[in-house]
Chain A
């Protein structure tokens, strides 16, 4: 593998997510600078930024494309407690000449009371549906009943997961044998709270999502989760980013025909890798799920591949060449100390839990260039987090409002 080209992204702050469109000809980037940028690939393979606009009033965590059957549609979610849906409209002719396109906000989804940590479109066979999850432990499923009118979205389901949610993944299978299924990961680091991955399944009779499974063996904070493409198999494969990379196989158990409850699964662990040394932050499958990529605290992206005997191995590593970062941060030395002190402060404050996405944003606009400065919790909370609390005695949504 080799670096074919480098694209100057020109975001004013950290990039949190980059997302390819379905055909791989466009990408969207989002950042702590509160903006989203859309990039188009030219015939020659060059990337050009064709739109850049402020999307939220807080860090934008994730950006994702709808299936092109629904047009050119993006969804974003943010620390500002909202998710938003954007649609590209064919612009004025002079816009086109300048190679710019125009995106308009179709809706803002404001139901969450905390930072919206992930946003995903459901598989296209379910229609135009959008899911969000948030730090207050709620997964929300929205639907646009009229795909021609993206300004109308109705909240179809609210699933309470009881634990701060960090990530969601839809099971992409369109087989009739598999009801719609969604996996939710929690980044709550308290191992006492049990399994951090929950699987919810849609029940046709009750028309609700019900919990089908909790992966009890995953007790550490989960940062990302990804179902693999189904490939026509009866079972499902799920990759999880936690303190290591794990791959699970979920084999549906035969159901009694009279049973109306959710499917039960036999959960098998297929592989587990701790090569990232510490936390793993992202996992993602390629199109045909022959490769899994993960990103972790070692600052590397690792590629995992199964051979024909279903033995998984690391086949590639993408790693910085160690040359000084020539970003806007200036001297690497200075940056180093900054990172160090920030880690220390917040660890003292939060007992090491990754709770940054968990608190409400201040109402005044965040100071440019200090993404996490304003995330430090109010003093009263520090005492709370030092005290023993369980999810029941300390409901997540009773955190002090910050105004």
Chain B
């Protein structure tokens, strides 16, 4: 398919002259930093660099009003993904329709809120004009989205089998675009004498143009009451309006029956025109001419029709009420090549939609709208309806995934909306997981709570490497801030043996310096995690010794202490401390260390001192037998043997 060339957008960087210097840059998570520099080694002026500028991509993401839109559409999106593949398509269709309606109502809520903000802003200082401009633009766009989300869905998947009902859908859609008629009608009817109100006829004709005959008749009654002389004439028109057949696919009537009925009614209207039944009242005559689809009269009311597509729908209503979707683009083209010039990109999107060119609609939307919300969700919905394939686009699921990945990546740059993005990535089978992996490990881990949240998301998706990495980062951070307990528990979670060893060392050092342990809760409840590293095992066991000792379970404590040395769990550097710990047990009145155990203690001491057989200048070898501890142990062992 041919690609349209779109000019790239240019963002001005203040206080910088591109003709004189280079613009350096670096990518950030949701922005780009730029700075002036000179890369050429050969050219260069001295001088400081005044500024680093932070350039952001998506301004929409930062609007609190759109936040609601993102949140709620996320729910709808997830719901749509849950619709089971294997359901027969006739059961799925109503679900798709209701999803399309749900999307529309969240856009509508968002739009209403935007308009409210706009009204309050009216009273603010003029300096806010840019903000106002932005909001009014957003409001305009979301209005457009709201109005068109459904018509696209209708055109693409709702109306096709029920030929003939298209005009009804189009009328509904047009009413959304020209909702101001109702407001005007209320104003007219509320005035003292409605029939003399200057907007009276505008209201009546607007209603007729939108095919709202009952409403038009109700307003017409006011005039009829004022002109008793013309009563017959009013009665006649009222009758014509009332009798206008509207095809209702819900009824048993066939299309042919309707066609006959409609032709009959039209003849009747024609007849009235030829009779000059309304010649005495210009307005009534115009209405009658509208009913037969008189183009000249329609053009006279171009103001009330406001847009080319309203004009189109009105003309179809009165000239081709049973128009088929496939014929739509023919009428649209005739109109846009003769009467209206298509200028706005949004108009050409509509035209593409009338041509059933889904691909063009999606592409133009991606270009014209400033975020991926609309196209992403629309494409996803169309893809679920299996419409992308049926239109012979072989890249069907890729297009959907491409757009969803773009949308989700945008969400990910926001400090709290990123969590919504996770579900979108989950539903992108090809690259969703890799994108999530790349993005989620860069979520700033400001607090432990946030880290746990990120880890939970990773764990649910078996992203073990990301979990490990996050735990490792947290362990490192905790250690830097001297929070040993936290560092230890994070490194246990990361299953990082080397780091656990290092932290255990720190605990033991702290103990040697202060004589007490910190973070008892953690160390006492290590459980099997203790086995992660030898040093950690020792830390846990050594602390267990302290606990047994504290609980006065001396013989258990003694056994454990001894086993720490004989089973080589304790590092040699710590043996002296352990032996010293044995002393108070030896001093107890009752015998705690058996003779054998005391001998083992002796051996440990021997091993320790003989291990230091290489004397160093600052640590002269201690002669076995003169060490006070040895003497003591010998004495004790003698006394009990």
A interface with B by C-beta (< 8 Å):
1-20, 22-25, 27, 29, 31-33, 47, 68-72, 90, 124, 147-148, 174, 223, 229, 231-232, 279, 281-282, 284-288, 290, 293, 295-303, 307-309, 311, 313-329, 332, 335-336, 338-339, 342-343, 346-347, 350, 352, 354-357, 368-372, 375
Contact = CB atoms under 8 A, between A and B. Distances in A.
Which 10 residue pairs across A and B have the least CB separation, nearest first? A356-B41, A299-B18, A329-B47, A320-B16, A346-B42, A24-B29, A281-B39, A308-B402, A321-B12, A369-B46
A2 B11 contact: yes
Contacts of B55: 1-4, 318
A319 B15 CA distance: 10
A33 to B, nearest CB: 8
A38 to B, nearest CB: 13
A96 B246 CA distance: 77
B520 to A, nearest CB: 24
B74 to A, nearest CB: 20
A13 B27 contact: no
B41 A354 contact: yes
Given A231-B434, A335-B45, A24 B28 contact: yes
A332 B19 CA distance: 11
Contact of A15 (B35, B54, B56, B403): B35
Contacts of B33: 18, 20, 27
A102 B498 CA distance: 26
Given A6-B54, A342-B44, A14 B49 contact: yes
Contacts, number: 307
A15 B49 contact: yes
B11 A13 contact: no
Contact of A319 (B11, B43, B472): B11
Contact of B50 (A9, A295, A342): A9
Given A299-B21, A311-B3, A318-B23, A354 B476 contact: no
A17 B38 CA distance: 11
23 contacts: A3-B53, A7-B53, A13-B48, A14-B46, A18-B33, A20-B28, A22-B442, A68-B473, A69-B476, A282-B39, A299-B17, A299-B19, A299-B20, A318-B10, A318-B34, A320-B21, A320-B23, A322-B17, A323-B14, A327-B49, A335-B47, A372-B41, A372-B44
A121 to B, nearest CB: 15
Interface extent on B, as a size class?
35 or more
A385 B581 CA distance: 76
Contact of B26 (A20, A319, A354, A368): A20
Contact of B49 (A11, A90, A320): A11
Contacts of B441: 22
A285 B27 CA distance: 7
B15 A325 contact: yes
Q: Is the interface of B mostly helix, strand, loop or mixed?
A: mixed
Contacts of A7: 51-54
B16 A301 contact: no
Contact of A301 (B21, B34, B50): B34
B268 interface: no
A371 B50 contact: no
Contacts of A301: 23, 25, 32, 34
A5 B54 contact: yes
Nearest to A146: B498
A357 B39 CA distance: 11
Residue with the greatest number of chain A CB neighbours at <10 A, chosen from B10, B51, B431: B51
Interface in B43-71: 43-57, 59
Contact of A332 (B9, B17, B37, B482): B17
A287 B48 contact: no
Contacts of A279: 39-40
A325 B37 CA distance: 12
Contacts of A124: 469
B25 A23 contact: no
B435 to A, nearest CB: 5
B398 interface: yes
B16 A325 contact: yes
Contacts of B36: 15, 320, 325, 327
Given A285-B27, A311-B3, A332-B20, A319 B444 contact: no
Contacts of A70: 476
B480 interface: yes
Interface in B588-608: none
Contacts of A33: 48
A314 B13 contact: no
B10 A281 contact: no
A357 B24 contact: no
B323 interface: no
A23 B45 CA distance: 34
A369 to B, nearest CB: 4
Contacts of B465: 174
B27 A287 contact: yes
Contact of B46 (A317, A356, A371): A371
Contacts of B59: 2
A318 B32 contact: yes
Given A315-B8, A322-B17, 6 more contacts: A1-B57, A23-B442, A147-B498, A148-B502, A293-B25, A323-B15
Given A4-B31, A69-B476, A320-B12, A281 B22 contact: yes
Given A22-B442, A308-B399, A322-B18, A10 B42 contact: no
Residue with the greatest number of chain B CB neighbours at <10 A, chosen from A19, A325, A339: A325
B42 to A, nearest CB: 4
Nearest to B399: A308
B406 A290 contact: yes
A302 B55 CA distance: 13
B438 interface: yes
A356 B13 CA distance: 28
A298 to B, nearest CB: 6
A31 B49 CA distance: 9
Nearest to B26: A18
Given A24-B444, A284-B27, A339 B45 contact: yes
Interface string B445-476: 10000000000000000000100010011001
Nearest to A372: B44
Contact of B52 (A18, A336, A375): A18
A3 B52 contact: no
A392 B442 CA distance: 46
B123 interface: no
Contacts of A346: 41-43
A328 B13 contact: no
Residue with the greatest number of chain A CB neighbours at <10 A, chosen from B438, B472, B502: B438
A338 B42 CA distance: 12
Nearest to A293: B25
A13 B53 CA distance: 17
B438 A25 contact: no
Interface in B91-109: none
Contact of B398 (A3, A22, A300, A308): A308
A287 B28 CA distance: 8
B52 A72 contact: no
A66 to B, nearest CB: 11
A308 B400 CA distance: 9
Given A3-B11, A293-B32, A318 B41 contact: no
Contacts of B434: 231-232
Given A290-B406, A354-B40, A25 B444 contact: yes
Given A3-B53, A13-B47, A298 B442 contact: no
Nearest to A371: B44
B366 to A, nearest CB: 9
A319 B18 contact: yes
A115 to B, nearest CB: 10
A11 B48 contact: yes
A26 to B, nearest CB: 10
Contacts of B46: 13-14, 32, 329, 368-371
B10 A317 contact: yes
A295 B24 contact: yes
B380 to A, nearest CB: 14
A282 B24 contact: yes
